[in-house]
Amino acid sequence: MTTRRVTLVDVARLAGVDKAIVSRVVNADPSLVIRPDTRERVLEAISNLGYRPNVAARSLRTAKAGTLGLVIPDFANPVYAEIITGAESAALARGHVLVTGSSTGAHSSMDRYLDLLGQGRVDGLMLAGPTTAREQQKLESLGLPWMMVNRRDTGEHHRFVILDDAQAAKLAVEHLLELGHRHIVHVAGPFGADTARRRATGYRQAMKNSTHPVRAEDIARGDYTPRGGAEATAELLRKSPGATAVFVANVAMAVGVLDTLRRAGLRVPEDVSVVAVHDLPLAEHLVPALTTVRMPLQELGARAVDLLLTSSPEDEVAEVVGTAMELVYRESTAPARP
């Protein structure tokens, strides 16, 4: 029972018109002038036959794939889950399908995806997360519209959308200052991540409102993992004793921070307050529930799609999505003891 695909020709024959008419009805061609009863016959034929346009034929003809690509490092990272959700929603709203690939799987890599998606399979490509200069070069060579997400590109032709990480850091530090903390230390992210650099910058700026001047010993760097957060905390406990609060660059490291403080016999928030960036679902399930800064990750993904679709590939794009940031006050921060 191999039922042949229903094509425009089948619909045209049933409706008694030319296939060009059917095509223009299907695509709601505004320049089409058609008698109501003719349109009715066409619509009926489409419905009766269960006609669906063949996307391959359409793509070949129009040179548009109707899909967008997004390459992320890892599906298991909830930060990217949020970005994907926002991007998918915006893509669908604009009539596109989103193809999301990860660059760290067993058979995948950024390179592999650039090959796979650079053959007319997608109309544009978004890269989230770390990218090498070689990858970026390859990306440009594909001749596809592209966009970096949550990361500044390294080339001279900028096309990126990021969040206001400095502002997020300020919100966190200001929260601690309001609670009366002065000696606030920072568990920063890896040097290579520019989100980490921007959060560290925001920390330094906000600390100008503290009576405690920031010294090199007040900052320790981790690799955005729980273990990295644990090691950085151990380092700070040695280098910067007396701190009453910690601003942590991400939630994963905060897990290690909480653990190390606990093992050192310090209570959170009674002895030390802790606040971290990104209000991931995990945050409220930690003990104590983690105070965080919520950033508009979904909107970041949505904005990337919009810009990819509406900007000309030659345009420079350097946008900071700055809406809807807020401090989520939970159990891990409390007033400094007098």
Partner DNA sequence: CTGAAAGCGCTTACAG
The footprint of DNA (CB under 7 A) covers 4-5, 7-9, 16-21, 23-24, 26-27, 29, 32-35, 38, 51, 53-54, 57-58, 60-63
Q: Does 145 bind a copy of itself (CB under 8 A)?
A: no
Q: Which is nearer to DNA, 24 or 112 (CB)?
A: 24
Positions in 220-249 near a copy of itself (CB under 8 A): 226
Comparing CB distances to DNA, the nearer of 20 and 97 is 20
For position 304 contacting a copy of itself by CB under 8 A, the verdict is no
Cβ atoms of residues 321 and 294 within 8 Å: no
Nearest to 66 by CA among 86, 95, 90, 93: 95
Choose the one of a copy of itself, DNA, none that binds residue 117, judging by a C-beta under 5 to 8 angstroms depending on kind.
a copy of itself
Please select the residue that binds a copy of itself; options are 119, 192, 265, 337, rule is CB under 8 A.
Answer: 119
Answer yes or no whether residue 152 interacts with a copy of itself by CB under 8 A.
Answer: no
Name residues whose C-beta falls within 8 Å of residue 278's C-beta, 6 or more positions apart in sequence. 79, 250, 251, 292, 293, 294, 295, 297
Cα(288)–Cα(255) distance, rounded to whole angstroms? 10
Amino acid at 67: T
Q: What are phi and psi of 148, to 5 degrees?
A: -90, 140
Q: Mapping DSSP to helix (H, G, I), strand (E, B) and coil, where does residue 295 land?
A: coil
> 220: which strand partners?
187
Q: Is 57 in the site for a copy of itself (CB under 8 A)?
A: yes
- CA triplet 62, 306, 109: central angle to 5 degrees? 80
Closer CB to DNA, 15 or 257, in the complex: 15
Q: Does 59 bind a copy of itself (CB under 8 A)?
A: yes
CB of 116 to DNA, least distance (A): 15
* 3-class secondary structure, 101: strand
CB 70 within 8 A of CB 126: yes
From 15, 42, 84, 139, residue interacting with a copy of itself (rule: CB under 8 A): 84
Report the run of H or E that residue 136 belongs to, with start and end. Answer: helix 133-141
Q: Which is nearer to a copy of itself, 204 or 294 (CB)?
A: 294
311 contacts a copy of itself (rule: CB under 8 A):
no
For residue 28, the SS3 value is coil
151-166: burial string, b at 16+ Cβ within 10 Å, e else: bbbeeeeebbbbbbbb
Stretch touching a copy of itself by CB under 8 A, among 39-47, 105-113, 177-185, 325-333: 105-113
Question: What is the binding site for a copy of itself (CB under 8 A)?
Answer: 3, 5, 50, 52-57, 59-60, 63, 65, 67, 75-76, 78, 81-82, 84-85, 88-90, 92-93, 97-102, 105-108, 112, 116-121, 141, 143, 226, 255, 281-282, 285-287
